[in-house]
Amino acid sequence: MNASIKPIAFNTIQQHVLERQRRLHPEATGEFNWLLGGITLATKVISDQVRRAGLVDVLGTTGETNVQGEVVQKLDVIANETIAASLGYRDNVGIMVSEEDDEPRILKELDAKAKYIVLFDPLDGSSNIDVNVSIGTIFSVLQRREGIEAGRVMDHILQPGYQQVAAGYVIYSSSTVMAYTTGDGVHMFTLDPAIGVYRLHRENITMPPMGRTYSVNEAYFAQFPKGIREYLKWTKTEEAGGYGQRYIGSLVADFHRTLLKGGVFLYPPTRKAPKGKLRLLYEANPLAFIAEQAGGAATDGTQRILDKIPAALHERTPLVIGSKAEVDRVLSFWQS
């Protein structure tokens, strides 16, 4: 080859996972890569639908409400079925759990082959779909447990977040970006629309250890616990040194900014949602795994999110997540 012609360097997400596995886990079978391929394929299809919303008939509601009592958007359904179809072909996925489904989808008897359980919020921030604000997909991956009697599906699903083997999210925004972790740091990829692949953008991301930005729906101020109200009042004092506030109303987008720029995202208990609004298994857990892998923290106000033992599929949790020092500061107000 002509020495002056260099091959175009690109590192796709699949290559990245393979390369790290060979280096860090030579015993790995490549099965996780196959599973991740199902998720990346589905999110490329969703990204395409989101980009063409308005041109094709995907905007608006289906006229139904989901198990959580929320209005179902057409794109929610499209995203849900796209992920289900894509993962359904992966013979190593035994169970799927989605925010949009009342019950888990049992694809295969859980055995050594179908060892993965994938939990996801297919389209987070759906209320923002019709107004072109960033939305996203969040996913969490667990493995079936050993020694569980046949048919006891929930025993496999209701595992604490520290048992996750992988987690990630995709944000459909000015570009489509995926971040994931398998417990070896957080890595970020941008979807290259020209060739339809996710290309490495940043490896081993670390969250700034502190940041003077808080992200909360402050319209609920009067409904928040006293300690949270005290923290929010304090951020406006001279002593605090000048805080900024950012709130998009899509968890993925608010988290993505917090991961890159630092600060804290809060969805505390409110009178309307005394256990918080966000779901433990497929919203709080995967983002908490990513936050911790990036050096940040996530708590429900009394304990680490990843230590929570879930009791129900669609369980909700309060969530304070972000830079370690800022999460600790919120806790110091909330717990005093």
Binding interface with ligand AHM (CB under 6 A) = 70, 99, 121, 124-126, 217, 249-251, 267, 277
- How far from the centroid of its chain's Cα atoms is residue 143's Cα? 18
Task: Give CA–CA dist 336/332, Å, rounded.
Answer: 6
Give the nearer residue to Mg ion in terms of CB position, either 121 or 300. 121
Residue 232 binding: pick among Mg ion, ligand AHM, none (C-beta 5-8 Å cut-off by kind): none
Task: Give CA–CA dist 147/221, Å, rounded.
Answer: 46
Q: Is 267 helix (H, G, I), strand (E, B) or coil?
A: strand
What does the DSSP assignment read for 18-63?
HHHHHHH-TT--SHHHHHHHHHHHHHHHHHHHHHTBTTBS--SEEE
Residue 277 binding: pick among Mg ion, ligand AHM, none (C-beta 5-8 Å cut-off by kind): ligand AHM
Distance in Å, CB of 33 to ligand AHM, minimum: 28
Beta bridge partners of 266: 320
Phi and psi, residue 118, nearest 5°: -115, 125
Distance in Å, CB of 311 to ligand AHM, minimum: 20
Give the nearer residue to ligand AHM in terms of CB position, either 181 or 270. 270
Give me the residue whose beta carbon is nearest to Mg ion.
124
Of the ranges 39-47, 70-78, 105-113, 122-130, which one interacts with Mg ion (CB under 5 A)? 122-130
Which of 34, 32, 129, 143 is CA-nearest to residue 79?
Answer: 129
Task: Give CA–CA dist 143/165, Å, rounded.
Answer: 7
Distance in Å, CB of 195 to ligand AHM, minimum: 30
With CB under 5 A as the contact rule, the residue among 100, 124, 300, 326 that binds Mg ion is 124
254 binds Mg ion, rule: CB under 5 A: no
Of the ranges 25-33, 119-127, 260-268, 287-295, which one interacts with Mg ion (CB under 5 A)? 119-127
Contact residues for Mg ion, defined by CB under 5 A: 121, 124
